[in-house]
Structure 1
Amino acid sequence: MSHYNKGTDRAAFIVHRRGLPNVKAKLAGEAPVTVAFLGGSITEGAGASAADKTSWRALTAHYLRDRFGKSRIRSINAGVGGTDSTLGAHRLREHVLRVENIDLLLVEFSVNDCSNREESIRGMEGIVRQCRRLSPRTDICFIYTGADRNLTCIRPYPIAVHEEVAEYYGIPSVDFAAGIYRMLQNGEAVWASLAPDGYHPNDDGHEIYAGFLRRGLNELLSTEVDSLMLDHCESLPEEPLMTGNYEYADMFSYELADYSGDYHIGKLPQGSKLMNWRYATEHRYSDHPNASFTFTVEGQSGGLLLLCGPDTGIFEYSINGQSFVRVNPFDEWCLNAYRPVSVHFPRHHLRGPISIMARNTGLKDKRSQGTGMRVLKLLAN
């Protein structure tokens, strides 16, 4: 059952597909239910006056508690600003699946997934396949939020790309952007009054988003539960949409690498600003030229999650003893704050052991104040 017309009508924005049979069946009883919100800054609550009270995420959790009982519903905020589904797939185990048994996973990356189609599919498909393999009783729903670029056409990218994944795996979706598009076309709202920066909704915008999702959940949780559908939702197609997707993505402690003596436990400079990260910031740090570390991962690719900021320098890496590749992770966001920046190394065709060496170069971007490297996490797929 679908309320989404792929042709010309964005006024209807809820696609049922296989629905949410597992969480609906659980809500029919008295057992506790855990809902996880995985996404970017809009999921985290950016733009809201109080992220844990007035964001669409918080309002949705409040609605579920009102409807099904305050003590039954646990909510997990796994939103991290400025991140896409690629890092979302790497964060899924640590920030969601290892926290608690998850009954419903709401996934929102439609604004931040703007690099290319293949990478968007790898990220979203990786989240789905990983979740179904490790937690098959978890229902998944995709959420699509609004931005200037996806409120100007019928079926915008990357929402259309995410819908490819949703259609292939039977994932229901609720398209907030389509609801806003309808309101704009009908003269019922002005986007600038709901999201002054064009991306992050204010309290009024978050409330509208929450209303869209309430309607979606009301429909999805009122459909009939079929035992065959329960089994079908837990199945995982053998063939993926995209080879090299992030089904096996993971994020590990920086402690698993072997560091040279020039690296030490780091702390952010006193008085520095941290953005887009609510988790622990302990890391390994060095600004010495040629300071290095090595680690080995099993899979198709490896990578790093760095804490980048005003003193970030240029580093280089080598895979399996090959030539070093130089990376400058400094950008305009580094000028005023530290934040996590993921660096993903090239994918290998086959899975296997990958030995990685990274080292400081002593070089820096002309805007940077230093040559440091802060290792927050190790990444693997």
Structure 2
Amino acid sequence: MNNQNSGGNPSITPRRGLPGLRGKLAGTAPLTVAFLGGSITEGAGASDAESTSWRALTGAYLQQLYAGHPVRCINAGVGGTTSTFGAHRLQEHVLREGPVDLLFVEFSVNDGEDREESIRGMEGIVRQCRRLSPQTELVFVYTAADKNLTGYKPFNIAVHEEVAAYYGIPSIDCAAKVYTMIHTGELDWRKFAPDGYHPLDAGHALYAALVQEFLQQAVARAPCRTAGVTEAEETALPDHRAEAEEELLLPAPLDIRNYEYGRLLDYSGAAYSAAFSPRELLPEEPLMNWRFSTAHACTDDPQAEFSFTVTGQCAGLVLLYGPDSGIAEYSLNGGPYADINLFDDWCLEAYRPILALFPVQAERGVLRITVRNTGRRDSRSTGTGLRVLKLLSS
């Protein structure tokens, strides 16, 4: 496995490269590319997310590279989401319409300081993707933010690199490039990303240029050669290596509690008390970090409750939290109730989906969850609302 930096560029680590992409580009079938990440992947900071973001520029480059054939790009960037949420969103937001050929994953800015949780999220994405869409090539992308500019391999990026190295996934460290340019005087970080996170057009272009440099080298790189067989002979032979390679796709996990089986489930899969009603956010109700359906179960009754059952190692909820959200509580498998209070300063501005994960169990099994409203609220909240957007299992 090649773990060396590509072409002397310390920001690019090719590892196993993209062995499937070269062959894909030589054919005529459509190319499907997905971008799973946070707000920077979604396009925040760009003047036009669909044309000047690093995601859009990368898609345009692949269309140029794959001239004459369809290139379909999936925007699975959702602001404020971590790799944990990403692992649970993968099936619905990336794989719902079938396998993808190339998947870029970007969560180093949004993941927190919990090393184990970051491992579980990133490893869950990798293992789930390789199990459900084994032909998908993955690439990790590390973008810049204040916390990712404290050194050459700051904490969040170093944790993601553990997963990348273990599974042989190429990585593109945009933050390392920015860090170097800041310290050589080539770049003013506050002009590059005025809020310390979201790059302006020039920043998105810099990220896209690094991705393009990697793609150029990955496509040009000679494929692995079967011993004693010429390139022409190898091209003509059936690729029986794929079966052997597939056996190596899922080694023993780094963390057995990873979210390989993470899924979003429809809120309607729970049994609700009569106080709940289905609804969607109205146009005048502010919403952030969500471009998808807001259909959810809603109540402000302090006596309301619901329950659901899943099979897995972990269960949870995606709640629509906003200005009038209250405090709920949950019980797992008949255990004592614990509070769910996700209210923060962002809730004062708009509704947004927030993950509430319950404790990961030692083994997979049946998990029975009961959630009830409490009638209590954070001092900043205007109500005791409970809005259930999704159920989770993993």
- Which TM-score band applies after superposition, normalised by the shorter structure? over 0.9
Q: Which has the larger radius of gyration?
A: 2
- From 345, 348, 363, give the equivalent of 2:358: 345
Q: What are structure 2's unaligned runs of at least 5 residues?
A: 225-238
Alignment of 1:1-381 (within 5 A): 1-4=2-5, 12-69=10-67, 71-226=69-224, 234=246, 235-269=248-282, 271-381=284-394
Moved more, 66-75 or 224-233: 224-233
- Aligned residue for 2:373, secondary structure, equals strand
Structure 1 residues 232 and 202: CA distance shift in structure 2, 3 A: farther
- Aligned residue for 1:361, secondary structure, equals strand
Distance 1:374 1:191 in 2: 39
Structure 1 residues 141 and 229: CA distance shift in structure 2, 3 A: farther
Tell me if the contact between 1:11 and 1:182 (Cα under 8 Å) persists in the aligned partners: no
- Aligned residue for 1:153, secondary structure, equals coil
Give 1:170 deviation, angstroms.
0.5
Structure 1 residues 323 and 314: CA distance shift in structure 2, 3 A: same
Tell me if the contact between 1:59 and 1:210 (Cα under 8 Å) persists in the aligned partners: yes
Structure 1 residues 70 and 365: CA distance shift in structure 2, 3 A: farther
Give 1:267 deviation, angstroms.
2.9
Distance 2:243 2:220 in 1: 19
- Cα deviation code 1:157-203 (max 9, x no counterpart): 11111111011100011111111122222221111111001110011
Distance 1:189 1:262 in 2: 56
Tell me if the contact between 1:314 and 1:361 (Cα under 8 Å) persists in the aligned partners: yes
Say what the alpha-carbon RMSD is for the aligned residues.
Answer: 1.6
Give 1:11 deviation, angstroms.
5.8
Give 1:38 deviation, angstroms.
0.2
Distance 2:9 2:25 in 1: 29
Moved more, 173-182 or 366-375: 173-182
Distance 1:103 1:339 in 2: 30
Give 1:20 deviation, angstroms.
0.8
The code of the aligned residue for 1:251 comes to L
The code of the aligned residue for 2:313 comes to Q
Q: What are structure 1's unaligned runs of at least 5 residues?
A: none
- Cα deviation code 1:294-313 (max 9, x no counterpart): 10010011000011100100
- Aligned residue for 1:179, secondary structure, equals helix
The code of the aligned residue for 1:191 comes to W
Distance 1:169 1:232 in 2: 16
- Cα deviation code 1:212-266 (max 9, x no counterpart): 1111111112112236875566432341011200011111100111111000012
- Cα deviation code 1:334-378 (max 9, x no counterpart): 001010000000011110000001011111111001100110000
Distance 1:260 1:69 in 2: 55
- Aligned residue for 1:51, secondary structure, equals coil
- Aligned residue for 2:29, secondary structure, equals coil
The code of the aligned residue for 1:308 comes to Y
Task: Give percent identity, aligned residues only.
Answer: 55
Tell me if the contact between 1:26 and 1:33 (Cα under 8 Å) persists in the aligned partners: yes
Q: Tell me the TM-score normalised to structure 2 length.
A: 0.92
The code of the aligned residue for 1:278 comes to R
Give 1:53 deviation, angstroms.
1.1
